[in-house]
Chain A
Amino acid sequence: MHDAVTEMKVGMQVPDFTLTCYDPVAHDFTKASLAELKKQGKWTILFFYPADFTFV
């Protein structure tokens, strides 16, 4: 079921990740990078949901 991923718990350091995104403002595809957001001094809120075209 689970491979060797350490699941994040509060207080832990989140490893840098990069995520391909659709940016509705630019109407373009882009990459979001935690390292880059940290560099900009920003907080990051991740909001997971099961599937597009359903309620969130």
Chain B
Amino acid sequence: MGAQLITVSTDTEFVHLAWKRDEKELAAVKYLMGADPTGNLSRLFGVYDAGSGLALRGTFIIDPEGTLFNSEVNFYNMGRNIDELMRKFKANIYLKKKANEGCPSKWKDEGDATLRPGPEMVGRVHEALNK
């Protein structure tokens, strides 16, 4: 889909290899496993936890021009939903083409209803969502 997924932790690339080799849940993994042992990239995105030296569960979507489109951080014990990540990713791609539209929370894929913010929608979001 014209995207590179990179998972990042403060482990080294050697630990990534060992983990990928040992953990059956990772058998199908094809994405790059990035190593940030200095924490520098984690700091850049504000997810470096200095107390533990670990990165928080942050997800960031960058467009092909280098602009940050999406930024989300979960606390340690909160897992992420891949379907929701893909939904946001698709919405970001769509909105890059159609900057004057809005993707409501239930938008899933191209072809689903979008909103066009403007004077006629003020106080009429319900009608716009249900037309």
Contact = CB atoms under 8 A, between A and B. Distances in A.
Interface string B88-119: 01001100000000000000000000000000
B59 A45 contact: yes
A25 B63 CA distance: 24
Interface in B41-96: 41-47, 49-50, 52, 54-71, 76, 79-80, 85, 89, 92-93
Given A10-B69, A43-B4, A47-B8, A53 B23 contact: yes
Interface in A4-38: 5-17, 19-25, 29-30, 32, 34, 37-38
A38 B33 CA distance: 19
B44 A10 contact: no
B102 to A, nearest CB: 15
Nearest to B62: A44
B4 A48 contact: no
Indicate the size class of the contact surface on chain B.
35 or more
B59 A46 contact: yes
B2 interface: yes
Given A43-B62, A43-B93, A48 B44 contact: no
15 contacts: A10-B69, A14-B62, A14-B66, A19-B41, A21-B34, A24-B31, A41-B64, A43-B62, A46-B62, A47-B8, A48-B47, A50-B54, A50-B76, A52-B15, A56-B7
Interface of B: 1-11, 13-20, 22-23, 26, 29-36, 41-47, 49-50, 52, 54-71, 76, 79-80, 85, 89, 92-93
